[in-house]
Amino acid sequence: MFDHFLSSFGILLELNTLALMALGVCIGLIFGALPGLSATMALALLLPLTFAMEPNTGIAMLVGTYIGGVSGGLVAATLLRIPGTPSSIATTFDAYPLAQKGYPIKALATGMVASAVGGMLGLIVLVAFAPVIARYAIQFGPAEYTALTVAALMLVIVLSETDIVKGLLSAVIGLSLATVGFAPIGGTSRFTFGNVDLMAGIGIIPFMVGLFAVSQLLRDGTSATVSMRSGKKLIGKGIKAAEFIANIPNMLRSAAIGIGIGVLPGIGGSAANLVAYGAARSAAKKPEEFGKGSVAGIYAPESANNAAVGGALLPLLTLGIPGDGVTAIMIGGFTIHGLQPGPMLFQTSPDLIAMIYAAFFLATIMLLAIQLGTIRLFPKVLMVPRHYLLPILALLMVVGVYASEYRTFELWLMLGFGILGYGMEKYRFPLGPAVLGFVLGTILETNFRRALMFADGDWSTFVTRPISAGLFALATLFFVFSVWSAVRVRRKHAA
């Protein structure tokens, strides 16, 4: 494998291949940064273009696009509080407040470095433990997925600061919205109110853009203050070595969460992003600093969502099972070049496996270099007068959301969720639990019903299987610890 790895670097460093991979990284960054677009859309557009390329070149370009797309959401999340991709939702919680304090360079640099670290950790695990992790992941049945989802949802308590009730209500809102449309099992129409457009359910793009971006526009539009700063103030400070070193355990933990969630098909980087943020806040010595510009709150989600890339590639390469929507498209990339992902790929095409590893490594380095090289250009967005910036952002949102399904109904959904997000934040309901509930709602329902069907309605199946029992125990610990932390904080304030 090592010989194949070295020869792969020789192929990837050829000018043509290197240029196309760099182009893929840049396209991924752009699609990730624009609200409503995503790495999935970028790959879908580029996939037909790779047909005429050599397999090594085409797949290297797709890998670069994937990595660039996941990290691209950082920019809009930091500067505009608009998650460019679902994987950047939790990044907005602290990156945006830090940028608003006058340190956009620091917020961006922190996220960029965390992305690179998470990506490299994901690659190390991908190379070293692919067969082992895939062997355990394939043991996850419906009961295990149900338990895992419940454990992730319990972290909404961690995400909801000291108000447990509002955190749970926010999660219920997200879970309820996930039930709109046809049931995943049985096909029963639910909560459509006779509207044909709702039968397919609510898309993640109008939900995400509305809840975060439109609500932010409503706040900015109704605010009397103008967020312009001098160029000197906007430059801010870069990363401090002491902060980076102090956050190494945070990044390791978050990367482990990202890899663990990424390896499980269907969960995705958006859940990894939120779960890692919740875990970091729970483990922090000063959790009250989260949501106010804490660098730990940037290191955690960005490490997790990029580590999830390596995790998502694990089942793709070893089992032929896509870990998320992006890797599902990458299967198409393999197929058009006559390759079949799965265990035999390691036997028949070890050179291609090594090339994917090498492309992952080079694309991550290339991504960091491109981001840091252009980092001082991004904060200039904050210097644009608000009466120019807000209409431009609104136009980008409309175009991005409409392009997701090509239906004007998606725009009405976006507006409705914008009003919902504005109201939730006005009355201090956390948005994180709602997003996590929405993202995981269908996964929870599908696997819960499948588990009961396979067990002939026997509910004990959730606690008699070792992995699911352990995950439910973990969920219980999350709940107990969160309640205890909230009570402790309230007593501290009362004293």
Tens digit of pLDDT for each residue in 107-162?
Answer: 999 999 999 999 999 888 888 877 676 566 667 788 988 888 888 777 666 655 55
For residue range 307-318, list pLDDT tens digits in order: 988 887 877 777
Q: Above pLDDT 70, what percent of the chain? A: 84
Note the pLDDT of residue 36: 59
Number of domains making up the chain: 1
pLDDT score of 397 more than 50: yes
* C-alpha distances out from residue 314 to 73, 126, 165, Å: 23, 6, 38
Single pTM value for the model? 0.70
Predicted confidence band of residue 229 (pLDDT cuts 50, 70, 90): very low
Per the CB < 8 A criterion, the answer to whether 65 and 30 are in contact is no
Asked if residue 295 has pLDDT above 70, the reply is yes
- State residue 75's pLDDT score: 85
Task: Print the domain residue range for 374.
Answer: 2-494
**Tens digit of pLDDT for each residue in 448-486?**
999 999 988 888 888 888 888 998 998 888 778 777 776
Residue 232: the pLDDT is 42
- pLDDT beyond 90 at 400: no
pLDDT band of 226, cuts 50, 70, 90: very low
**344-356: average pLDDT:** 78
Q: What mean pLDDT comes out for the span 234-249?
A: 79
Is residue 34 scored above 70 in pLDDT? yes
